């Protein structure tokens, strides 16, 4: 007969969660070092956007990037776009990718202002594998939308075999369940997506969100799940502000991808990316789906080319991006406690 002792319960429920909640800061991208820790993409946009991504020197000289010490309450990283010229080759912008790649962790994005909600734009911060042919190694879209969207969409892009099977345990709404970019019954390259609902009548994407001072997004990535949390500025947990993040205290995530996807098989060596695209496969392809946007011009490209002033507010203001990983000592202790629990049960 199987018996569970008090010591077993202690090992399995008391000690293990306390060790799992301990994370150590391994990287801080902030105003003191931000641009030195990213590569600048200056090639053709792989999503067919009407955009010219500028290298570091050109972006700095033209004012597309800067460290802002005056606008907000704390210094922040500014990443914007050209909003004064009509260039038939595409609007000048920035796409950057972290020099370091990661496997597992808590990725905390403190965003004061985002470029979202403007017709013609397609901004995102996301994570992408640094090797192989896309989508090998996986892609995690943490914050993304197009044109006048008001709801953030979180998406995974993979090769065949990864799906959303559990439709509970998160507050968002599943839009597409299959992460395979070539899945039948879904649009090409859509992946598995979860839309973020309104939070206390506050928008989760676009200018409405910016009016509240932005907020914090956290991606939790372990061997068994990928989850996304979002906190409006006034609701950021004290443990995050204190530099001691503890996901066990945050409640339900907005999105969670777990059952139906072998995380370690599909996601590895991911870089952090920020970009602001224009038109392209999504914003351009969905142009006529927005009455407000399509009323401005027949096509996305025509609007973006001829209305530079419309993109003055298409910029990121980033306070920091911090990467935490489970403390090595706690990892060993966790494994030890699991082994103790198994030995006691046997």
Helix (H, G, I), strand (E, B) or coil at 242: coil
Q: How far apart are CA 144 and CA 190, in angstroms?
A: 12
Number of other residues whose CB lies within 10 A of the CB of residue 265? 12
Q: What share of the chain is helix, strand, coil (3-state, %, to 5)?
A: 25, 30, 45
With 0.85 as the threshold, say if the pTM is over it. Answer: yes
Residues 271/74, Cβ–Cβ less than 8 Å: no
> What pLDDT does residue 201 have?
67
Number of other residues whose CB lies within 10 A of the CB of residue 271? 18
Q: Higher model confidence: residue 207 or residue 307?
A: 307
Burial class (CB in 10 A: 0-12, 13-18, 19+), 119: buried
State mean pLDDT over 8-14: 37
Task: Give the pLDDT confidence of 82-134 residue by residue, as tens digits.
Answer: 999 999 999 999 999 999 999 999 999 999 999 999 999 999 999 999 978 99
- For residue 83, give both structure tokens: 């909003």
Respond yes or no: is residue 144 known to be catalytic.
Answer: yes
Residue 276: C-alpha distances to residues 49, 122, 181 (Å)? 10, 6, 22
DSSP notation for 160-228: TT-B-----SSSSEEEE-B-BTT-TTS-TT--EEEEPPPBTTB-SSSHHHHHTT-EEEEEEE-SS-EEE
Number of other residues whose CB lies within 10 A of the CB of residue 5? 10
Catalytic residue among 139, 203, 326, 343: 139
Q: Please give the DSSP secondary-structure letter assigned to residue 288.
A: G
Confidence of residue 334 (pLDDT cuts 50, 70, 90): very low
Phi, psi of 119 (to 5 degrees): -55, 130
> What pLDDT does residue 198 have?
75
Average pLDDT of the residues of the chain = 90
- For residue 61, give both structure tokens: 């000289």
Confidence of residue 12 (pLDDT cuts 50, 70, 90): very low
> What pLDDT does residue 16 have?
39
- For residue 1, give both structure tokens: 């007969």
Q: How far apart are CA 346 and CA 93, in angstroms?
A: 61
Q: Higher model confidence: residue 7 or residue 196?
A: 196
């Amino acid at each position: 007969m199987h018996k569970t002792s008090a010591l077993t319960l202690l090992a399995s429920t008391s000690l293990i969660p306390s060790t799992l909640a301990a994370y150590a800061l391994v990287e801080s991208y902030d105003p003191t070092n931000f641009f030195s820790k990213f590569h600048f993409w200056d090639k053709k946009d792989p999503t067919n956007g009407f955009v010219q991504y500028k290298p570091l020197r050109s972006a700095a000289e033209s004012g597309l990037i800067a460290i802002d010490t005056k606008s907000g309450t704390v210094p922040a990283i500014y990443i914007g776009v050209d909003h004064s010229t009509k260039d038939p080759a595409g609007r000048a912008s920035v796409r950057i990718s972290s020099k370091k790649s990661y496997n597992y962790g808590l990725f905390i994005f403190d965003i004061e202002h985002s470029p979202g909600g403007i017709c013609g734009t397609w901004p995102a911060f996301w994570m992408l594998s640094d090797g192989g042919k896309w989508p090998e190694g996986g892609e995690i879209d943490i914050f993304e939308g197009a044109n006048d969207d008001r709801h953030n969409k979180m998406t995974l892009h993979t090769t065949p075999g990864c799906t959303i099977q559990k439709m509970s345990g998160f507050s968002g709404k599943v839009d597409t369940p299959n992460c395979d970019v070539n899945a039948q019954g879904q649009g090409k390259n859509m992946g598995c997506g979860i839309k973020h609902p309104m939070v206390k009548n506050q928008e989760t994407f676009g200018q409405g969100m910016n009016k509240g001072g932005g907020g914090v997004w956290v991606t939790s990535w372990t061997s068994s799940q990928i989850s996304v949390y979002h906190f409006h500025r006034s609701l950021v947990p004290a443990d995050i502000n204190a530099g001691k993040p503890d996901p066990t205290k945050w409640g339900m995530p907005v999105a969670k991808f777990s059952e139906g996807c072998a995380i370690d098989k599909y996601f590895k060596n991911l870089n952090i990316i920020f970009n602001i695209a224009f038109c392209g496969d999504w914003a351009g392809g969905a142009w006529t789906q927005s009455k407000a946007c399509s009323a401005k011009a027949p096509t996305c490209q025509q609007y973006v080319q001829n209305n530079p002033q419309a993109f003055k507010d298409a910029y990121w203001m980033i306070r920091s991006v911090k990467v935490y990983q489970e403390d090595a000592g706690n990892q060993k202790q966790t494994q030890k406690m699991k082994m103790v629990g198994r030995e006691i049960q046997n």
